[in-house]
Amino acid sequence: MGMTITEKILARASGHEQVEPGQLVDANIDVVMCHDVTTPPAISMLAKRGIDRVFDPNKIVVTPDHFQPPKDVKSAELHKRLDEWAKRHKIKYYYKLGRAGVCHALLPEQGHIRPGEVIVGGDSHSCTYGALAAFSTGIGSTDLAASIATGKLWFRVPASMKFILEGTLGEGVYSKDAILAVIARIATDGALYRAMEFTGPTVEAMSMESRMTITNMAIEAGAKNGIIGFDEVTKAYLDEHLTDVKDYTVLASDDDAEYVATEKIDCSALEPMVALPHLPSGGVAIGDCAGSAMDQAYIGSCTNGRIEDLRVAADIMRGKQVAIRTLVVPATPAIWKQAKDEGLFDVFYEAGCVISAPTCGACLGGFMGVLAEGEKCVSTTNRNFVGRMGHPKSEVYLASPATTAASAVEGKLTDPRKYL
């Protein structure tokens, strides 16, 4: 019997020739991602047990990002503990203030993600890295502690679901709209502890940045991981971004691999989508919600804070003024500089936006864009749970950078095709 790409990666990492869904495996970890919220508790757990070691200082990537730069004394203490730990263990890839960025944009950009590898991170959206044909998943602080110290972690091999995206995305429709449509179809538990494998002509035509938006939101359907197979787009991205370790293993799903479900989505029929409060599965076409007044627009995050996202937003805002509070947050320092060099900051400045240094702050309701009671925000982020970006009686509407930019200009949910 054939295996899916997810099964092959876990088999390779655990020393098995064959694995099947439901099987428990003890896998070697290739990369561990650490940030400022979940890593300090993991460090404390290890310290309580008298453990002060890392399995390999070259395979752990550290960046503060959730409260970066620190917003208060408590977050500053988290940064201090992370800093002291990273320096003590001589962590090679430690991206400190000035080079820190949103983790799920930073790691691929800096060449830390390779096909065929197992990556774990102390953050639920670590599934992003599956866009590069790797197995990647989010873990809690307890599993993070084990991974840091031993370089191993057990997994139950997930069953795989195949999502075949067909057709050509229309004007004003992007990968964010496609994944919102997928989640709206299967619901937030539609892929519970399963691998979401994305394929088809629509995916093949996407840039790597667009693909990362797709896999980033796999967790919003309950998935263990999201994954996209290797192709020339993957290779081109790796050729540009890999630095220290340039070799990798390409694995692919067998033709006779078994899937628990297969979903086909006609992407040529999609319209710009908006996920209504309070679930990412609440996606509806923009025509069903256009005109709803907003108080804030947010363009950024690990979902849509990359350079192509900022370009899309700038194209819509150019020569216009925003009607509501609008935050633009490049996901990494490199993206920040590129946006500045391309003149995108001039567009955002003239439009009346606030431009921030890289941070996750607003996305999780931490700082840099917290919502007051009753306020509504249209956002390029991935999650719109109750109280996600601030007051429990605020509301978050998920959308693409294009829809968010158009809505910022109008001050209400707006079809971006009006400006294209």
Residues 208 and 278 in one domain: no
Q: Which H, E and C letters describe 278-331, residue by residue?
A: CCCCCEEEHHHCCCCECCEEEECHHHHCCHHHHHHHHHHHCCCCCCCEEEECCC
Residues 256 and 369 in one domain: no
Residue where one domain finishes, among candidates 265, 294, 318 = 265
CB atoms near residue 356 (< 10 Å)? 16
pLDDT at 244: 81
> What distance in Å separates the CA atoms of residue 408 and residue 372, rounded to the nearest whole number?
18
pLDDT at 246: 84
Q: Which domain holds residue 164?
A: 5-265
What is the tally of structural domains in the chain? 2
Residues 61 and 167 in one domain: yes
Residues 79 and 142 in one domain: yes
CATH at residue 47: 3.30.499.10
Residue where one domain finishes, among candidates 209, 230, 265 = 265
Residues 247 and 395 in one domain: no
Q: pLDDT 10s per residue in the chain (420 long)?
A: 799 999 999 999 999 999 999 999 999 999 999 999 999 999 999 999 999 999 999 999 999 999 989 999 999 999 999 999 999 999 999 999 899 999 999 999 999 999 999 999 999 999 999 999 999 999 999 999 999 999 999 999 999 999 999 999 999 999 999 999 999 999 999 999 999 999 999 999 999 999 999 999 999 999 999 999 999 999 999 999 998 888 999 999 999 999 999 999 999 999 999 999 999 999 999 999 999 999 999 999 999 999 999 999 999 999 999 999 999 999 999 999 999 999 999 999 999 999 999 999 999 999 999 999 999 999 999 999 999 999 999 999 999 999 999 999 999 999 999 998
Write down the residue that tokens 């679930």 correspond to: 279
Residues 146 and 252 in one domain: yes
Residues 318 and 398 in one domain: yes
Buried/exposed 323-343: b ≥16 CB within 10 Å, e otherwise: bbbbbbbbbbbbbbebbeeee
> What distance in Å separates the CA atoms of residue 60 and residue 78, rounded to the nearest whole number?
18
Residue where one domain finishes, among candidates 211, 231, 265 = 265
Residues 88 and 218 in one domain: yes
Residues 229 and 292 in one domain: no
Residues 193 and 318 in one domain: no
